[in-house]
Amino acid sequence: MSATIIGTSPNRVGGIGRVTGSQQYVADLRLADVLEARLVTLDCARARIISIDASAALALPGVRLVMTAADLPQPVPRFGPQLEDRPVIAVGETKYHGDPVAIVAAETKDAADAAAALVRVEYEELPAVFTLAAALDPAAPLVQDPALRPGDRLASTNVLREHPIGWGDVDAAVADVVVEHTYTFPMVTHFAIEPHAYIAAPDGDGIAVWSTIQHPNWLQKVIAKVLGMPLAKVRVFAPDPGGGFGGKQHAKYEPLVALAAIRAGRPVRLVLSLEETFQAVRRASCEVRVRTGVNRDGALVFEDIAADYLIGAYADIADRVVGKGSYPAAGPYTVPNVRILARSVLSHTVPSTAFRGFGNPQVNWAVESNLDEAALAIGMDRLEIRLRNIAHRGDAFIPFDTPADGEWSQTVTRAAELIGWGSPLPPGRGRGIALGIKSGPTTGLSYSTVRLLGDGSVIVFAGTSDMGQGARTVFAQIAAQELGAPLDWVTVVMGDTAIVPYDQQTSASRSTVLMGNSVLMACRSIQAQLRTMAARLHAVDEALVGVDRGVVHLPDRDLSVIDVLKPGLGRLGGELTGNGEVRKDADPSHPLSGAPAFFEFNCTAIEAEVDRETGDVTIVRHVTVSDVGRALNPLQVRTQDEGAAIQGLGHTLMEHYIFDEVGRIRNLGAIDYRIPTSMDLPLDLVSETIENADGPGPYGSKGMSEGALLCVAAAVGAAVREAIRVPIRDLPLTPERVWRALQERETA
């Protein structure tokens, strides 16, 4: 087994189960004696709860439990990954359309649904804020009780936090041309195909929780704290999710379902409908004002960026999204003077959370679009201005941070080549090119265990969640490569906190790098044991024994792993075990509490055609190129980028929440919230990689999977602008919006 499996694309581990429907998702699991749950919500954004009468609901056959805040320990437990501001159920006041006031559990789903409709809630609707303008009005009602924010100078406003960052001196900088515009990015939802689902079951003196969660170990901590149990008594099962995109990172209704299960003394199961999912997870909308200073020779002089993100009623991880997402807002360019002020603004809307791209797509849309305006103002080609300013490998483009960790100009040049930049355009068409950058993980802790069994097969224990990105396959490839087992002799165990060692989280495109290195370390530990074993068996100096890709090299010959393992383990058999630990500690001196482990870098180039009569935008060609260091599984890498690119077309062309005048979401569900279908794909979609094996992950890999989403909007916007010669600064670019822009220009 000396052939390399790294850099090949074997069939996805678990792939057949996914495509044949045999994979068991959380919503497929049936526990004996389980109660079905339904949330009770109010038909308004914000209300004072006066009273809740559950008697009619409890009188229905099969109804076992109606639980409200009054039934919980007082004060009602609160939780949250950043601030513990979110009560497990609404206390006294609902803060957004969909905020649950009660949970019903019954023998059947029908009974739970019927009972939920019979829970009588007397309430008084209160004024709500659900736009940036309303939330920032000095007279606006406060979303958060100032008592929750002691000593915070912003506590009397709806600004949760401000994130200033910068260098140089923007005010003193002098540029030949200054271009200033304001851009908006819509509120969108993750729309994972698998519904969010939660089951909790009393388990002796502890509890078992099944969840579609991305971070099982983090959830374990939340449940333990809410229930006052030791970690060892909380067992979280996290079957592979069917799409997460960040929306399944953090606890939502697991604490509530766990409390309901304990109160009922039986397992309780809650599966959210798509409509309820819209009311559980979303991306922050954003308004960004950008002032770009540029000299006539194309040199960027300054970027002055103010970004207001409309987060929801509770912090969730949203404020971290704002801080981390806005931090590289000036882009992958060497800009001498930069000032960024991002604010997270609370509102009476669904709590926003992590979503692929983590706050970067919002500012990227604005800053990259404004760069095009600057190029236009000085009469420079839009590709040229980017290459003129791009940071080269080793450049400290953010002065106090990790220098550029790739030669990114290669990526840009390749994308330009693939789109035919500069070649003649048919009428009605335009091209756009945009660059995206995102900071990778700033902290991390990934343990793993690898067991080389007596027959040479391997079990890998890794706490990553494989939600479709293919982590199982990549870890199996690493173990197969290092220990010489065929890929189908490797089993990867995930998603059970009682068995699998701790992993901090599955996010920020980290798993190949952090958990991948951890698995590699565990395998190398086994290789060291094999070296010792071979030296003993063949009476040679251990220093003369090498182990590489499953081959044991002795001074006079090569042996396979199994030829050493079997005699080495002896008659009783047994196994070799290796542990991995990859730790990236926080750095309190860094603005993000840690420099990124790597940057995700992508260049997207678009050719689009616009129907001037209807405003329809057709993506004729979509090119996405990412610097991935090294693709361990090229097919998975390419298709991850394709998926990200298409998801980016959603917020670019069609997706957005629509609210009514009192803050209720009008387009809950699939009928009036449209995501791209196979019919809406680019006519031609090209996904390529740049590979210089210069990443910190196994075999020179970098993290990837978000990059291809970062700059889709700016590239499409630029192509549309070139096609119609009218700038549009608000997303999505719906046919009606494009048509209206054309109409307004004609009447102007």
Q: Do 418 and 689 form a contact (C-beta atoms < 8 A)?
A: no
Taking CB under 8 A as the binding criterion, the range among 165-173, 564-572, 705-713, 732-740 that sits at the site for other proteins is: 732-740
Q: Which of residues 604-623 bind other proteins (CB under 8 A)?
A: 613-614
Q: Considering the complex, what minimum distance in angstroms separates the CB of residue 30 from other proteins?
A: 20
Beta strands in 136-205 (DSSP E): 159-167, 177-185, 197-203
Q: Considering the complex, what minimum distance in angstroms separates the CB of residue 274 from other proteins?
A: 12
Taking CB under 8 A as the binding criterion, the range among 368-376, 593-601, 638-646, 738-746 that sits at the site for other proteins is: 738-746
Q: Considering the complex, what minimum distance in angstroms separates the CB of residue 618 from other proteins?
A: 9
Using rule CB under 8 A, residue 735 touches other proteins: yes
Structure tokens at 580: 């991995």
Rounded Cα distance between 376 and 137, Å, is 35
Q: Considering the complex, what minimum distance in angstroms separates the CB of residue 653 from other proteins?
A: 8
**Based on CB atoms, which residue is closest to other proteins, 8 or 273?**
273
Q: Considering the complex, what minimum distance in angstroms separates the CB of residue 75 from other proteins?
A: 36
Q: Considering the complex, what minimum distance in angstroms separates the CB of residue 659 from other proteins?
A: 10
Buried b vs exposed e over 182-211: b needs ≥16 C-beta within 10 Å?
ebbbbbbbbbbebbbbbbbbbeeebbbbbb
Give 549's contacts (C-beta < 8 A, 6+ positions apart).
Answer: 1, 2, 4, 481, 482, 484
List, in sequence order, every residue forming a beta bridge with 366; answer none if it has no partner: none
Beta strands in 295-414 (DSSP E): 300-310, 337-345
Taking each helix axis from N to C terminus, what angle separates 254-264 and 216-227, rounded to the nearest 10 degrees? 50
**Based on CB atoms, which residue is closest to other proteins, 541 or 661?**
661
Taking CB under 8 A as the binding criterion, the range among 230-238, 241-249, 652-660, 706-714 that sits at the site for other proteins is: 652-660
**Strand 551-553's sheet: what is its strand order?**
546-548, 551-553, 558-560
Give 12's contacts (C-beta < 8 A, 6+ positions apart).
Answer: 18, 470, 472, 473, 636
List the one residue from 679, 746, 747, 748 that touches other proteins (CB under 8 A). 679
Beta strands in 346-411 (DSSP E): none
**Strand 177-185's sheet: what is its strand order?**
159-167, 337-345, 300-310, 285-294, 177-185
**Based on CB atoms, which residue is closest to other proteins, 74 or 678?**
678
Write the interaction track for other proteins spanning residues 91-120; mark x where CB under 8 A is met and - where it is not.
Answer: -------------------x--x---x---
Rounded to a whole number, what is the distance in angstroms from the first to the last CA of the chain?
Answer: 71
Q: Considering the complex, what minimum distance in angstroms separates the CB of residue 611 from other proteins?
A: 9
Cα distances (angstroms) measured from residue 68 to each of 51, 71, 196, 442, 674:
10, 6, 21, 39, 34
Question: Which amino acid makes up residue 605?
Answer: A
Using rule CB under 8 A, residue 739 touches other proteins: yes
Structure tokens at 151: 């000593």
Using rule CB under 8 A, residue 731 touches other proteins: no
List the one residue from 344, 347, 636, 734 that touches other proteins (CB under 8 A). 734
**Based on CB atoms, which residue is closest to other proteins, 22 or 743?**
743
* Residue that the structure tokens 């700033």 belong to: 442
Using rule CB under 8 A, residue 730 touches other proteins: no
**Based on CB atoms, which residue is closest to other proteins, 486 or 735?**
735
Using rule CB under 8 A, residue 676 touches other proteins: yes
Taking CB under 8 A as the binding criterion, the range among 71-79, 468-476, 630-638, 671-679 that sits at the site for other proteins is: 671-679
Taking CB under 8 A as the binding criterion, the range among 234-242, 400-408, 465-473, 676-684 that sits at the site for other proteins is: 676-684
Using rule CB under 8 A, residue 667 touches other proteins: yes
Q: Considering the complex, what minimum distance in angstroms separates the CB of residue 741 from other proteins?
A: 12
Phi-psi region of 669 (alpha: psi -120 to 50; beta: other; left: phi over 0): left
- For residue 410, count CB atoms less than 10 angstroms from its CB and return exposed for 0-12, middle for 13-18, buried for 19 or more: middle
Using rule CB under 8 A, residue 139 touches other proteins: no
Using rule CB under 8 A, residue 191 touches other proteins: no
Q: Considering the complex, what minimum distance in angstroms separates the CB of residue 664 from other proteins?
A: 12
Using rule CB under 8 A, residue 748 touches other proteins: no
Structure tokens at 517: 């290195």
Rounded Cα distance between 514 and 444, Å, is 7
**Based on CB atoms, which residue is closest to other proteins, 450 or 712?**
712
Taking each helix axis from N to C terminus, what angle separates 382-389 and 409-419, rounded to the nearest 10 degrees? 170
Q: Considering the complex, what minimum distance in angstroms separates the CB of residue 613 from other proteins?
A: 5
Structure tokens at 329: 């807002």
List the one residue from 20, 74, 589, 678 that touches other proteins (CB under 8 A). 678
List the one residue from 677, 725, 746, 748 that touches other proteins (CB under 8 A). 677
Q: Considering the complex, what minimum distance in angstroms separates the CB of residue 658 from other proteins?
A: 5
**Based on CB atoms, which residue is closest to other proteins, 596 or 676?**
676
List the one residue from 59, 666, 684, 745 that touches other proteins (CB under 8 A). 666
**Based on CB atoms, which residue is closest to other proteins, 528 or 675?**
675
Q: Considering the complex, what minimum distance in angstroms separates the CB of residue 430 from other proteins?
A: 19
List the one residue from 89, 305, 437, 653 that touches other proteins (CB under 8 A). 653
List, in sequence order, every residue forming a beta bridge with 162; answer none if it has no partner: 343
**Based on CB atoms, which residue is closest to other proteins, 487 or 726?**
726
Give 3's contacts (C-beta < 8 A, 6+ positions apart).
Answer: none
Using rule CB under 8 A, residue 680 touches other proteins: yes
Question: Cα 37 vs. chain centroid, distance in angstroms?
Answer: 28
Write the interaction track for other proteins spanning residues 431-460; mark x where CB under 8 A is met and - where it is not.
Answer: ------------------------------
Rounded Cα distance between 248 and 239, Å, is 12
Using rule CB under 8 A, residue 672 touches other proteins: yes
Q: Considering the complex, what minimum distance in angstroms separates the CB of residue 736 from other proteins?
A: 5
> Which residue in 567, 537, 563, 543 sits closest to 551, CA to CA?
563
Helices marked H in 600-703: 634-649
**Based on CB atoms, which residue is closest to other proteins, 539 or 679?**
679
Supply the DSSP symbol for 730.
B
* Residue that the structure tokens 């979509």 belong to: 622
Binding-site size, other proteins (CB under 8 A): 24
Rounded Cα distance between 450 and 522, Å, is 6
Structure tokens at 278: 């819209």
Using rule CB under 8 A, residue 674 touches other proteins: yes
List the one residue from 671, 725, 746, 747 that touches other proteins (CB under 8 A). 671
List the one residue from 221, 291, 538, 740 that touches other proteins (CB under 8 A). 740
Q: Considering the complex, what minimum distance in angstroms separates the CB of residue 275 from other proteins?
A: 9
The CA-based angle 221-224-228, given to 5 degrees, is: 145
Binding residues for other proteins, rule: CB under 8 A, are 110, 113, 117, 613-614, 653-654, 658, 666-667, 671-672, 674, 676-680, 734-736, 739-740, 743
